[in-house]
Structure 1
Amino acid sequence: MDLDLALLNDKPTTITDKSNEDKKSFHKSWELSNKLRFMFMRMIVANNIKSTIPQAESSREYLKFVEEHFRSIDKSLNGTLMDELTTMKFYGSRSMQNYIIEMTNIAARLWTLGMKVNDTFLVQFILNLLTLEYGPFQIKHNTIKDK
C-alpha cells in the first residue's frame, strides 16, 4: 500500500493536464499514503498531546512537530530522573530489593533517553546511600571489589 511513501518523499508537484501517467499515479499514491499515515499517527497520539501539535499539511510535517515536542519533554524527563536518582535514600521503609530495583529502573529509563549510567557507578551510588546498619555490607562489597 506504500504507507511510507509520504514519509520518504516530498509532496509531489501539482498535476496538470500535461502531466504524464507516472506523475499522476505517483501523486495519487502519495496522497493516499499521506492521508492514511496522517490518520494512523493522529490515532495513536494521546489527546492531551494532540492539542499542543499544530495542524500540518503532510504526515511528514506532523511527525517533525511530534519529534520536536518530545525532544524538549525528553530533556525535562532526564532532569527529573537524574534528580530522583541522586536524591533517593534508603530509609528501611521498603525492602532492600525494592530499593535496588527502583534505582536500576531509573537508570534503565535514563539509558533509553540517551544517558548511560555506568553499572559500577550505580552499585557504588546505591551502597553509599544505605543507612549505617548496612555498613558491614558496604565494607564486604568494597573488600571483594578490590580483589
Structure 2
Amino acid sequence: MWKERVLLNLGWIDIGYAIRIDEPPSTTEDSTQDAISLYEKWERSNRLPVMFIKTEICASIRDFVDKHTNVKELIKAIDEQFATSDKALARSLIMQISSIKLDH
C-alpha cells in the first residue's frame, strides 16, 4: 500500500519518468543538445523521487536502502526488504502456532 501511494504521488507531481525509463547514456563533450536534455530530464526525475522516498520510508529500513541513488534500484531494494520481513514474520507466526498446546 505504501508503494502504491508513493508511486501515485510521484505521478501527480510528474516526476516518475525515471521509474518508467532506463537511464540514458551519460553525457559527454560530444553529446547533442537533445541527448543532454534527455539526460537532465531523467536525472531530475531520478533524484527527486529518491529524496521523496527516503523521507517517507520507515526508519527501520532507511539505513538498508540509504545507499541507493537510482529510483528503480531503491524501489527494488524496498520490495526485497519487505518480502524478507514478511517471510520472517510468517516464519515467526508459524513457530508460535506450532508451539501452542491444544487443551482438550
- Output the TM-score relative to the length of structure 2: 0.69
What's the CA shift for 1:56?
Answer: 1.6
- Does residue 1:31 correspond to 2:43, yes or no? yes
- Secondary structure in 2 matching 1:18: coil
**Residues 1-147 of structure 1: pairs in structure 2 closer than 5 A:** 2-83=14-95
Q: CA RMSD in A?
A: 2.4
> 2: CA distance between counterparts of 1:2 and 1:13?
22
- Per-residue Cα deviation, 1:30-89 (whole angstroms, up to 9, x for no partner): 111111110111011112211123502311111122122111111112223445566779
Unpaired segments of 5 or more residues in structure 2?
A: 1-12
Structure 1 gap segments, 5+ residues each: 90-128, 133-147
Equivalent pair of 2:46/2:71 in contact (CA under 8 Å)? yes
Distance 2:41 2:18 in 1: 9
- Structure with bigger RCO (C-alpha 8 Å, 6+ apart): 2
Give 1 or 2 for the bigger CA radius of gyration.
Answer: 1
The count of residues paired between Structure 1 and Structure 2 equals 92
